[in-house]
Structure 1
Amino acid sequence: MTPDPRSPDPKRPDPVQPANAEALALVHQLLTLDHAALAWEDPDTGTPGISRIAFARDPEVGMLTLVSGLAPHFRALRDRPDCALMLGDVGGKGDPLTHPRLMIRARASFVAPDDPARPGLRARWLERNPKATIYIDLSDFAFVRLTPISALLNGGFARAYHIAPGDL
């Protein structure tokens, strides 16, 4: 029987290392970015989609975004909350695959308009994103918490690390 090429080879060690202090410092640097790519599943077709989102790591509730009800990922996250985020910037030079990036598997949950935490979220969001003043209070916008399930840091060639949710 031919082995499944997608299955890990039990004789080969996992090339992804446990996180060390240097990796965690890079993770925390990437978590300061104000945008991310969000992968989601279309609830009607089951096909994947991807969107660029505004992103913040809020000191009170963790990872967060603000989403318009007009965006396709609004309904997708509401109906199928499993998602993934990619954080990272490609520098001005070099191979894009050599620049650090953080992939986070997460579960989305919407913050209710009457949630007691919302006023604080709103104030902190506007401190980071003052231009959001023009749309943050529109009825179709909602805050979405992104609770991490697992993460993988690719810090560049031969620098891949498992990141625990608690380290995010």
Structure 2
Amino acid sequence: MPQSPIRPTDDDARTLARSLIAAATFGALAVNDANSGFPAVSRIAIGTTPGGEIATLVSGLAAHTGALLADPRAGLLLGEPGEKGDPLTHPRLSLRILADQIGRNETRFAALRAHWLATHPKSKLYIDLPDFTFFILRPQSGALNGGFGRAWQLSAHDLAPAS
């Protein structure tokens, strides 16, 4: 019987996944298009909340924003290939997420806005436009590929910010 390529989840896998999340400045977001039923993929800005949760700031004019509001289930791919070598040998994290919109009237909005501006200063040009909104992207599970022969399945608990 062939051996499973999935390794037992350990602290090294959790650390690698959390480092990919912390380092991400953008990611590929896959949403469910309400009109066609087909998946749609967009590149979005990625950051974190002050507590380390995954966040994004998106325009309400973007198709992916409407899709998240209609169906908060989505996929998120983080991790970029290095400058050299086969792109498939570099770590990447594929997440199943639930998107939670943060309204401007919520108490946590101000802290998230200030934190986002500190880490994404160019967003000052558009962050206060009325169509822009934050979402917290809450991982439900994930698949971590750490390079050839290094694969793990991760739970929501494995992906939670380190306390």
Same fold per TM (> 0.5)?
yes
Structure 2 residue ranges without an equivalent (≥5): none
In 1: Cα distance, 2:52 partner to 2:84 partner: 35
Over residues 25-84 of structure 1, what are the superposed CA-to-partner deviations in whole Å (9 max), with x where a residue is unaligned?
A: 211221121111101111100111111111112233711100101111010000011001
Runs of 4+ in 1 over 6 A off after TM superposition: none
Alignment match, 2:149: 158
Structure 1 residue ranges without an equivalent (≥5): 1-10
Residue 131 of structure 1 aligns to a residue in which SS?
Answer: helix
Residue 51 of structure 2 is aligned to residue 60 of structure 1 = yes
Residue 19 of structure 2 aligns to a residue in which SS?
Answer: helix
Q: Does the CA-based 8 Å contact 1:86-1:104 persist in structure 2?
A: yes
Over residues 65-112 of structure 1, what are the superposed CA-to-partner deviations in whole Å (9 max), with x where a residue is unaligned?
A: 001011110100000110011000111111111111001100111111
In 2: Cα distance, 1:79 partner to 1:51 partner: 16
Out of 19, 30, 46, which is 2:20 matched to? 30
Q: Does the CA-based 8 Å contact 2:31-2:41 persist in structure 1?
A: yes
Identity of aligned residues (%): 44
Alignment match, 2:6: 16
Q: Could you tell which deviates more after superposition, 50-59 or 138-147?
A: 50-59
Residue 130 of structure 2 is aligned to residue 144 of structure 1 = no
Over residues 119-160 of structure 1, what are the superposed CA-to-partner deviations in whole Å (9 max), with x where a residue is unaligned?
A: 000000000000101100110000011111101100011100
Scaled by the length of structure 2, what TM-score is found?
A: 0.91
Scaled by the length of structure 1, what TM-score is found?
A: 0.89
Residue 18 of structure 1 aligns to a residue in which SS?
Answer: coil
Larger Rg: 1
Residue 118 of structure 2 is aligned to residue 127 of structure 1 = yes
Q: Does the CA-based 8 Å contact 1:39-1:83 persist in structure 2?
A: yes
CA RMSD of aligned residues (A): 1.4
Q: How many residues align?
A: 158
Out of 78, 90, 95, which is 1:104 matched to? 95
Alignment match, 1:8: none
